[in-house]
Chains A and B, each alone.
Chain A
Amino acid sequence: MHIDVGTVLRGTVCDLYSNLVTRPTGAAVRTAIERQVTEIGAPVVTTIDFSQVNLLDFSCADEIVAKLLLRYTSDGGPQGFLTFRGIHDGHIDPIETVLERHALALVSWHEGEAELFGYVDDHERDHWIVVRDEGPVTAEAVAQRLGVAMAFAEEQLERLFRRRLVMRRDDGYAVPGVVHGSAGPLPGNGQGVQ
């Protein structure tokens, strides 16, 4: 499922706005996004697209990005995974600031490659990069690749899974948004983005 935040902003708050500023605006946009997700019934991966958003301030980053992620990672939150795309350089500072404030992290797609933003420790990051570069990949393969104990790799991957930063699949772990073995056209490094 793909949600264009710029379209939601203009459809929900004001059709003249292209800037995501002020907390009431952020709250209105988040509520509209949650409604869309609820109506469709939480798909496996929901992509929040910021490419049509010019300016994003801290208040909107907190209301939209942080609060959606908090909802998804909370007990009893929606099933599935959130990914982001269209995050340009001007969005990064407010997004990283709110992620750090809440100890959150997110997966974003940029020019066909997955990126990890926010609050992660070195072990989480190292394991996530292996999954991104080699996934779907088993915990055993990740452990071998990083030269760590299998139990340690499993623990890290499960932490990443609980944080919705990797998906569990029959054949191992993968970054949300990656389609492997698809017959359709795939952008970027042979990886598709939903």
Chain B
Amino acid sequence: MTTVISVPPSLDEHTFEHVIEQLANTPEGSKILLDARHARWASPYGLTALLCVAQSRSERIGFAVPEHPDTVSYWSRTGFFRHAAELYDLHGSVPRSREAHESDVLLEITPITKSDDVHGVVGRIQQKAADILHGQLNLETAVTGSFGMALSESCQNIVEHAGLGGWVAVQTYKYTRRLGRRVVVIAVCDAGVGFRKSLESSPGHRQKDRWDDAMALEDAVLRAVSRFRHGDAGRGQGLAGIRRFVGRWHGKLTVRSGTARIGIVPEWDEDMPMTEGLPYFPGAQMQIIIPERVGEAPARTRSSATSATSARGRSRF
């Protein structure tokens, strides 16, 4: 008997939880069909996380592709079906894969398995990201470098911690429902070991009275703890840097791992800072949203360590 798991018509980080709930109720070894026939829209998070679903099960899963031609065309342009064809048994008509030339697809879905992939992603996206961040989202030019850093560090988390290849995608679109503005979205998802197990593998890890996925996420995202931190004080700065980047540009960061989800939530959103007791899903799924700027530029926080007259650097003594 085949268990049919429905993909919601609009697939984002919240509605993806419905997919996980259904999956969690399906025993390992069951025959599964992921039914996306009625899907109409998916965020980069939704698409990359769908690829992780296939990686999360030992048995090969069936996948019924969206019926609406616009949806299937758009998913195709994001590169989704090219990767899905290797992971799923696809059912339905899929257009021949082609390069993404859409201006809203900054980076089509790209596998990340090694450090070279990170170089490729960062190098490929740079000019297009600069055009969109500065030109369309009205952000200062300084955002481009920080954006590249955030992208690099989030992808490196897969290489260094997941133990299994993952996926990255970057898109820009109008975030009508919550914000009414354009946003750029980075989604980085894997179905690897997840934060809790990664931190547990550190020689310096000490089991606390309470230790679970939520605590692991707090350690990694809020306290910059890394499994490599033992013996190397410089580790763990990537997520801290992403958090700072998101804060500076009034963005949103969410990371789901295992049964918990942590959020750095801006004033324009009403998401929860921490959600626990979610149905288990392996690995880590991260989303970064940077919104279009309206009004004045944010105050520049950099001042120099050298003197009050210089504008470079920041003082933090």
Contacts and interface: CB of A to CB of B under 8 A. Distances in A.
Given A16-B123, A93-B244, A114-B306, 11 more contacts: A19-B119, A19-B152, A22-B159, A58-B240, A67-B234, A90-B146, A92-B313, A98-B234, A101-B237, A119-B317, A120-B317
A59 interface: yes
Contact of A55 (B149, B305, B310, B317): B149
A90 B313 contact: no
Contact of A96 (B116, B123, B314): B314
A86 interface: no
B87 to A, nearest CB: 26
B160 interface: yes
Interface string A33-73: 00000000000000000000011111100110011000000
A118 B304 CA distance: 9
Given A17-B123, A22-B152, A102 B233 contact: yes
A25 B233 contact: no
Contacts of B122: 19, 21, 55
Given A58-B241, A98-B237, A22 B312 contact: no
Contacts of B116: 14
Contacts of A128: 306
Given A55-B148, A58-B241, A96-B313, A23 B156 contact: yes
Most buried by B among A14, A56, A115, A118: A115
A118 B241 CA distance: 16
B119 A14 contact: yes
16 contacts: A14-B116, A19-B123, A21-B118, A21-B122, A22-B152, A25-B115, A58-B240, A59-B152, A59-B156, A59-B238, A89-B312, A97-B241, A115-B310, A115-B313, A120-B317, A132-B306
Interface residues of B, number: 37
Interface in B153-206: 153, 156, 159-160
B254 interface: no
A16 B120 CA distance: 10
Q: Per DSSP, are chain A's interface residues mostly helix, strand or loop, or mixed? A: helix
A100 B306 CA distance: 15
A25 B119 contact: yes
Given A14-B119, A62-B234, A67-B234, A21 B152 contact: yes
A120 B123 CA distance: 35
A22 B156 contact: yes
A54 B305 CA distance: 23
- Candidate in B126, B144, B145 with the most chain A CB atoms within 10 angstroms: B145
Contact of A115 (B115, B306, B316): B306
A8 to B, nearest CB: 15
A19 B149 CA distance: 10
B119 A110 contact: no
B142 interface: yes
Interface string A86-120: 00011111101110111001000010001111111
